[in-house]
Amino acid sequence: MYQYYRIAAAVPDMRVADTAYNVDQMLQKVEEAKQKGVNLITFPELSVTGYTCGDLFLQQTLLTESKKEAARFVQTTADYDMVVVFGMPLSIANALYNVAVTAYRGHIYGITVKTFLPNYNEFYEKRWFSSARELSTDHIYASELLGSVECDYNIPLGNNLIYHLPDAFCFGAEICEDLWAPIPPSAFMAMSGAELILNLSASNDTIGKREYREKLVKEKSTSLMCTYLYASAGANESTTDLIFSGHCMICEGGKMLAENSRIAENNYLLVADIDIERIQADRLKGKTYQDCAGTYGSAVSMRQILIPVSEAFESDGSLRSVNPHPFTPGDTKRRQKRCMDIFHMQIGGLAKRLSICGGKMVIGVSGGMDSTLSLLVAAQTLKKMGLPATNLTGITMPAFGTTNRTYQNSLTLMQTLGITVKEIPIKDACITHYADIGHDMEIKDITYENVQARERTQVLMDYANKIGAIVVGTGDLSELALGWCTYNADQMSMYGVNASIPKTLVKWMIASVIECNIFPDSTEVLKDIIDTPISPELLPPDEHGNIVQKTEDSVGPYVLHDFFLYYVMRFGYSPEKIFHLAKRAFAGIYDAATILKWMKMFYRRFFAQQFKRSCMPDGVKVGSVCLSPRGDWRMPSDASVQIWMRQLEKLAD
């Protein structure tokens, strides 16, 4: 339903050249994988015999027993609803090949042949094996491998095989050194539709080699926009000259889903749930990938092989962790680095704008987190440019909803930063405007609120004109997604430094500035600001002077909206899949009904408020999600939300 599939890299115990023992161990791994709900399992290179047999590969006894035990393995796994891929030596037309056999329910669907044979340093594979380039045929008969069979059939053979699993995914296989090649076979497999690449390997360990393999696999899964499974030979290979650790990896679009430890291991099963829809979304959006496939994809004629898997061939995705904060790294060290990287990107963007606009700025300072982050970015930008802090004017504009806490925090922050401080109350101007348009001030509606928001923006714009400055915006990505801003008010500025910063990240950005001690004099007030409830402060406070108007009471928790936004924008997932992910991510925090309620709010507002994004000011993109109409997001303002809402209604039913 959600295009999750469970795959495994297996490193069974083994004995060099003991084919019966090795297949017994492989079958144990298949049984273990079955208990874990695995859909596809991959074994290392030459797993039936072991990689380090040396000149024993030229002994007919070993080759005959290898075929016999491979046949037993295929026939024994016929009862499993699992694709099995394993390695073996195979003699074809008086030449020996290093191959990967793909079977499902007792039927061999293809045999992939290794293309690039290492013959340097510790490797001398050409002593025994021939390359796929030397094949004189593109198939063999099943009887040649399985022996006596009731129904003989052709088995496709080569380095150009792609396996199609209907309504599931496509995959291809390559063998060890193939990955190291400048243009590996997997490149053509991916360009021809393979979303999963398997690598059956026997890469030995030397100092630094593990890290090098990791980089290779990550890079390949990124550039090919695929999931890459790497299964390598384990510690029971011969240690006459080399040592192996059974290094296994499952990497999806550059992200490592699973990897075993550095300790040499056997009897190991690395399992992960892969998200094929995630790969498909990247390819759908990545036109460079499509252009490359169109340019070079036909250079190698690929053969498409159908494997008719069962309807139950799918995983529930439960092995995948779901981060409730997809914009924010989980651990403190990575989070701080990410936040500081973003901070400096904001500074870089603003510095360029200032360099052509005279070097002066005006910011409306409310005492809330968004305006605080903008203020910190602006202040640090002036430092970077060698300009005085007083080139930045912060204007606080007390109105009917301003509390003493936010008012004092805004003043303290500006004073500790050493910028120019300006206070311009707007109550009287708003009262006059209410009278001019005939609005009863006792009616605390959207007009009551928007008059204040637009008056604040008018003050900022006019004062900026007066001193030859630009207005730096404070609105963030989450507000733009929901349209939680007043058109031609806080929606507008000359440059929006927070335009691609989600609300849930703003707090961590300020916290990171505190941790890095960038503005030591402002530390205490910054701590209080990130502790203040999110509010536009347009409605009067309660009798105790506390904030009454809390944004999340109206639009819902930003942690949910940012979660929805990420998966809508980054991968284009359906409401059903996002709902499924959200239930897992927020289990024990929000129930399904609450999540669904705010999902409906998100989709309604996301579509209805596009007109505000269509004319949003300039602002630098810092992450993978951005709503700029000049960059990542072009959407008609009158698009209908009905098909998304119908899906949500079905979920409610």
Q: How far apart are CA 157 and CA 132, in angstroms?
A: 9
The catalytic site residues sit at 45, 114, 176
Q: How far apart are CA 547 and CA 141, in angstroms?
A: 78
Q: Scanning the structure block, which residue is given the tokens 């496509």? A: 170
Q: How far apart are CA 580 and CA 598, in angstroms?
A: 14
- Tokens linked to 472: 């730096």
Cβ atoms of 610 and 635 closer than 8 Å: yes
Cβ atoms of 60 and 25 closer than 8 Å: no
- Tokens linked to 394: 């912060």
Q: For 97-108, what is the HEC assignment?
A: EEEEEEEECCEE
What three-state secondary structure class fits 492? coil
What three-state secondary structure class fits 591? coil
Q: How far apart are CA 15 and CA 13, in angstroms?
A: 7
Neighbouring residues of 125: CB distance < 8 A, sequence distance ≥ 6: 98, 117, 118, 119, 177
Tell me which residue of 300, 384, 354 sits closest to 115, measured CA to CA: 300
Cβ atoms of 171 and 226 closer than 8 Å: no
Q: Which long-range contacts (CB under 8 A, 24 or more apart) does 337-345 make?
A: 339/505, 339/508, 339/509, 339/511, 339/512, 339/513, 340/512, 340/516, 342/501, 342/505, 342/509, 342/622, 342/623, 343/376, 343/377, 343/380, 343/509, 343/512, 343/513, 345/620, 345/622
Number of CB atoms found within 10 A of residue 559's CB:
20
Q: How far apart are CA 521 and CA 507, in angstroms?
A: 19
Give, rounded to a whole angstrom, the gap between the first and last alpha carbons of the chain.
18
- Tokens linked to 406: 């936010």
> How far are the Cα atoms of 73, 323, 333 from residue 328, in angstroms, in the given order?
46, 9, 11
Within 13 Å, how many C-alpha atoms sit on residue 433's CB side? 16
User: In terms of DSSP bridges, do strands 255-259 and 248-252 run parallel, antiparallel, or are they unpaired?
Assistant: antiparallel
Phi and psi at 410, nearest 5°, equal -65, -40
Residues linked to residue 227 through DSSP beta bridges, in sequence order: 196, 252
Tell me which residue of 401, 327, 410, 420 sits closest to 365, measured CA to CA: 410
Q: How far apart are CA 200 and CA 186, in angstroms?
A: 12
What three-state secondary structure class fits 126? helix
